[in-house]
Amino acid sequence: MISEPAPALDRQPDLVIHARYLAQVESANLLEHHSVVISNGRITDILPSTLARAHYTPLESVELDEHLLIPGLINLHTHAAMTLMRGLADDLPLMVWLKEHIWPLEAAIVSKSFVHDGTLLACAEMLKGGITTFADMYFFPDAVAEAAVTAGMRAALGIIVLEFPSNYASDASDYLHKGLATLDQWLDHPLISFCLAPHAPYSVSDASLERIQTLAAQLELPIHTHIHETSEEIRQHLEEFGCRPLHRFARLGILGGQFIGAHAVHLLEEELELLARHNGSIAHCPASNLKLGSGIAPVGAMLAQGINVGLGTDGAASNNRLDILAEMRLASLLAKGVGGNAEALSAWQALYMATMGGAIALGKEGEIGSITVGKRADLSAVQLSSLSLSPCYHPVSHLVHCAGRENVSHVWIDGKCCVADKVLTSLNVTELKNSVRLWQNRTVSCLRSGIGIKQN
């Protein structure tokens, strides 16, 4: 969108970013030599840089003459605090990984301070990779909120629900009670939003799901859950409930509102139609699905049905990276390879999934997900001048197929700079490293005592 210059009263904005390339995303339209004008955390104008220089005298200006400016990336599914478990129990299938390794260790070590410090570590990694928003699902969501706000990141907190006890809550009612108290505490914060997050079909009862559906309708919150992640999950569900998980969710009304299904690897044609009919969204996590041996989600078929798809990393304990740029490339390559179609999931589609797809899933498409006048100024800049990215003919294709998070130079959230020239500005890296070392020592102590994961 190119607008006329703003009236005289608006000619001294907070910030103007002059970019070599600008990908607005809502339309597959690449602008060259354009500028984004920002005031009070929102985008107020987008216009050619020559006009911007003539009509605006900003408090601050940034020159990005070798860069592609994109909307801030959205990580639609993660467990941020589990970054402190990165690399533990690798090369195992999902249920073995969870039941025999991760859950025992969590019982021994997870606390509010663990979640706070682990989330800070995750935020640092995500910010450096151009991620400005993440949808989380973990214990102690109040600690996640505190860490996200410290980092200056936007977070959609999952009010997690399980039937079994943890260090956070005793049963499903207790999880909901504590999660709703966190919602009351943080509801008005501009960076924090919420989802109801029943963990998975195999860990939440019908009674709890019915209560969650009622609360989601009353509070107008999305429901964010794992769904159809493995074939074994579906087999066990058929034995216990006599139907596949998605059909049970439909029967209980879980699909009736704003539904976000993480993974969705194993879907029948009728289930794709069911999701499309209910306007459900999918958080596609290709790296985690591959690493856990879960399979490859049918993204091409989802898109053909008109299903909204965003991208997630899952937790660093099952992916090892919180890197949406890497997920974009992997998603595109897998769709091409599985479908036998080199035109499947283009670079523009991958970028849309990583931005607008996530925003739509969270109900935030009016605020974030594209570079549009009136939206929040959540932006990431990728420098395209390195030898490994040269020559550059098609910047968006380069973003998906050549660039890495090491090429992210700047990140803004609500117009505030969180990464400048590849340096974190909102977090103290030395303090963060010291905190991580302490948690690593505590984790190693647990392992040596025989708790949770066995050392190789």
Domain edges within the chain = 8-71+376-424, 73-361
How many CB atoms neighbour CB 241 within 10 A? 15
Per-residue pLDDT of the chain (456 residues; tens, 9 = 90+): 455 554 444 789 999 999 999 999 998 889 999 999 999 999 999 999 999 999 999 999 999 999 999 999 999 999 999 999 999 889 988 888 888 888 899 999 999 999 999 999 999 999 999 999 999 999 999 999 999 999 999 999 999 999 999 999 999 999 999 999 999 999 999 999 999 999 999 999 999 999 999 999 999 999 999 999 999 999 999 999 999 999 999 999 999 889 999 999 999 999 999 999 999 999 999 999 999 999 999 999 999 999 999 999 999 999 999 999 999 999 999 999 999 999 999 999 999 999 999 999 999 999 999 999 999 999 999 999 999 999 999 999 999 999 999 999 999 999 999 999 999 999 999 999 999 999 999 999 988 887 765 444
Cβ–Cβ under 8 Å, residues 310 and 357 = yes
- Domain 8-71+376-424 CATH assignment equals 2.30.40.10: yes
Pair type for strands 408-413 and 223-227: unpaired
Provide the 8-state DSSP code for 8.
Answer: G
Cα separation, 336 vs 342, in Å, equals 5
Sign of the alpha-carbon torsion through 189, 191, 196, 199:
negative
Cα separation, 215 vs 196, in Å, equals 8
Which pLDDT does position 261 carry in this prediction? Answer: 98
CA 192-431-405 angle, to 5 degrees, is 65
H helices then E strands: how many in the chain?
18, 16
Dihedral in degrees, nearest 10, Cα atoms 172, 175, 178, 181:
-80
Which pLDDT does position 451 carry in this prediction? Answer: 74
To the nearest 10 degrees (0 to 180), the angle between helices 172-186 and 141-151 is 30
All residues at 6 or more sequence positions from 272 whose CB lies less than 8 Å from its CB, including other chains: 298, 301, 302, 305, 307
Which pLDDT does position 97 carry in this prediction? Answer: 87
Same fold, 8-71+376-424 and 73-361: no
Strand order through the sheet with 281-284: 73-78, 131-138, 154-161, 192-198, 223-227, 259-263, 281-284, 308-311
Which pLDDT does position 5 carry in this prediction? Answer: 52
Give me 440's structure tokens: 């690593």
Which pLDDT does position 8 carry in this prediction? Answer: 44
Which pLDDT does position 9 carry in this prediction? Answer: 42
Amino acid code (one letter) for 354: A
Which pLDDT does position 58 carry in this prediction? Answer: 97
Q: Which candidate, 70, 76, 60, 65, places its Cα nearest to that of 30?
A: 70
Distances, alpha carbon 304 to alpha carbons 226, 255, 281, 298, 345, in Å: 22, 19, 13, 10, 11
Q: Which helix (H) or strand (E) holds 19?
A: strand 15-23
Cα separation, 384 vs 390, in Å, equals 8
Sign of the alpha-carbon torsion through 292, 275, 82, 153:
positive
Cα separation, 159 vs 219, in Å, equals 12
Cβ–Cβ under 8 Å, residues 223 and 213 = yes
Query: Domain spanning 73-361 has what CATH number?
Result: 3.20.20.140
Provide the 8-state DSSP code for 355.
Answer: I
